[in-house]
Amino acid sequence: MKYAYFPGCSAESTARDMHQSTLAVANALGIQLVEPRGWTCCGATAGHQTDRILAVALPAATLVKVKDMGLDLVVNCAACYNRMKVANHEIATNREVRGKVAEAVGRDYDGSVKVRHLLEVLLDDVGADAIRKALHNSLTGMKVASYYGCLLVRPNEVTGFDDPENPSSLDRLVTAMGGTALEWPHKVECCGGGLSMSRTDVVVNLTDSIVGMAKLAGADCIAVSCPMCQINLDMRQLDIAKSKGNRYDTPVLYITQLLGLCLGIAPQRLGLNKLMISPAKVVKAIAAA
Amino acid sequence: MAITISKNKSARGILKQVQEISGVDLSVCYQCKKCTSGCPVSSMAKCPPSEMMRRLHLGLGDELLNSDILWMCVSCETCSARCPMGIDVAAVMDALRKLACERGAVKPDGNVPLFNQAFLKTVEVFGRSYDIAMIAAYKLGSGKLMADIEKFPTMLKKRKIALLPPRGADRKTVRRIFKNTKEEGAGQ
């Protein structure tokens, strides 16, 4: 299994742990990931809030490099995944956009690179059975709230990821690892994404509701697959405690960190020390299960 | 909800421009308010998404570009996903934000346009976003110098934020993209 792999800018900064755990898990499961040379930023929310062509041309600059590699593209960051998918869709369905993007990038691109989220590769290409067989530890006895956020599932006719209102990919992985995947109502609520710095008040309100609901559902931890979701749900718990007095102390882990622990990979290779809310309870429970 | 429109509203509505920029046909909106029901910030904003749509129909102009929801909107796209008529409400919001920036609408709380500029500037220079430079530019420009400052030592200690600028990106192509889209009157 060989894929082109787009780490995304946060993999070099706030989400180094997502990147590290992705590489460690891929290695353990025989997935070969190759970074496209010279990959560039997808533009994120700031891109599409600013200009439609800029928002498509930025991901296209990387997609055209991947096209040359002749491989499918795997993305773990939900935001990058979303921008890559939208760019492909816009280019493939709108000739005018395709022309303008070709002019901006300096090369024509047809929107044909297959973009897949790491969760899709884990479930469809590796498969739950193979994952189960590779486990050294398990999530037995652990209740996990899977949080998908917005950008994996929306717009669903473009991303085609899972069920847009009640997705189950993360839950299926949690179950494969022996954990209890909680039914809870905030799977696809928004954490506030890129407004974390500019409208911290909005993000604190939204994350308070999400983490509060996970806690109410009895979650021992929250599993995510997006650097914005992770940092908002994790770091903003400090602000929720300060401004609203609600103390949750609920660890928020990347699914690749949970999977890495279950595959017997050492915590330091999974970047677990980077979490703001300590995952010590989770690590201990997995080791004991 | 009753919608009151001031008699001295701008002479020219912006419905047409919004439809052109977003490529979305707003005429099919029948005010079911599903967008507003699912919107995570509608309870915090003065004018929820369904009302923005109606105000566009009713011929409002540049005054609409000062609505607080434009910069509270988290681009989660729940509105677009749930619209029974398939209206891409999120694309309409993008179009309104673009017009707001071009026409110098009032600076919103938190100055999200400045954040977006600071973010994109680092992408333009380095080919990838560079958090420290982006945060510095945003803090200086917005005056929110002390926000989140208590978290910095921990983030640095955990190496949760990169000190050195990103390397290895194809900066040439990215600069070309920025240059080109700016010249195009910023794309569409």
Under DSSP, the state recorded for A142 is -
Q: Which residues of A touch B168 (CB under 8 A)?
A: 37-38
Chain B residue numbers touching A276 (CB-CB < 8 A) = 151, 154
Give CA B168 to chain center in angstroms: 29
Residue ranges of chain A that CATH labels 1.20.1050.140: 2-118
- Answer yes or no: is the ipTM higher than 0.85: yes
As separate numbers, helices (DSSP H) first and strands (DSSP E) second, chain A gives 13, 8
Per DSSP bridges, beta strands A32-34 and A73-75 are unpaired
C-beta separation of B78 from A153 below 8 A? no
Distance from the A218 Cα atom to the nearest Cα atom in chain B, whole angstroms: 23
Q: What is the pLDDT of residue B103?
A: 92
Domain extents in chain B = 15-102, 109-183
- With DSSP H G I counted as helix, E B as strand and the rest as coil, what are the percentages for chain A, rounded to 5? 55, 10, 35
First to last CA, chain B: 34
> For A121, which DSSP code?
I
In eight-state DSSP terms, residue B168 is S
For chains A and B, count residue pairs whose Cβ atoms are closer than 8 Å. Answer: 191
Three-state DSSP state, A115 = strand
CATH of A131-288, one of 1.10.1200.10, 3.40.50.880, 3.40.50.11810, 3.40.710.10: 3.40.50.11810
Q: CA of A167: how far to CAs of A35, A116, A171, B37, in Å?
A: 28, 16, 8, 20
Taking the alpha carbons at both ends of chain A, their separation in whole angstroms is 30
pLDDT (tens digit per residue) in A13-28: 999 999 999 999 999 9
Residues 28-67, chain B, touching A (beta carbon < 8 A):
40-41, 44
Name the B residues in 85-144 with CB < 8 Å from any A CB: 88, 90, 94, 97-98, 101, 109-112, 114-117, 119-120, 123, 127-131, 135, 138, 142
Which has the closest alpha carbon to A18: A253, A262, A177? Answer: A253
Per-residue pLDDT tens listing for chain B (188 residues): 677 777 666 668 899 999 999 999 999 999 999 999 999 999 999 999 999 999 999 999 999 999 999 999 999 999 999 999 999 999 999 999 999 999 988 888 899 999 999 999 999 999 999 999 999 999 999 998 999 999 999 998 998 999 999 999 999 999 999 999 998 754 34
Dihedral (Cα; A53, A59, A62, A64), 10-degree rounding: -60
* CATH fold of A2-118: Glutathione S-transferase Yfyf (Class Pi); Chain A, domain 2 (1.20.1050)
Residue with tokens 């909107």: B73
Distance CA A101, CA A107 (A): 8
| CATH 3.40.50.720 for the B15-102 domain, yes or no | no
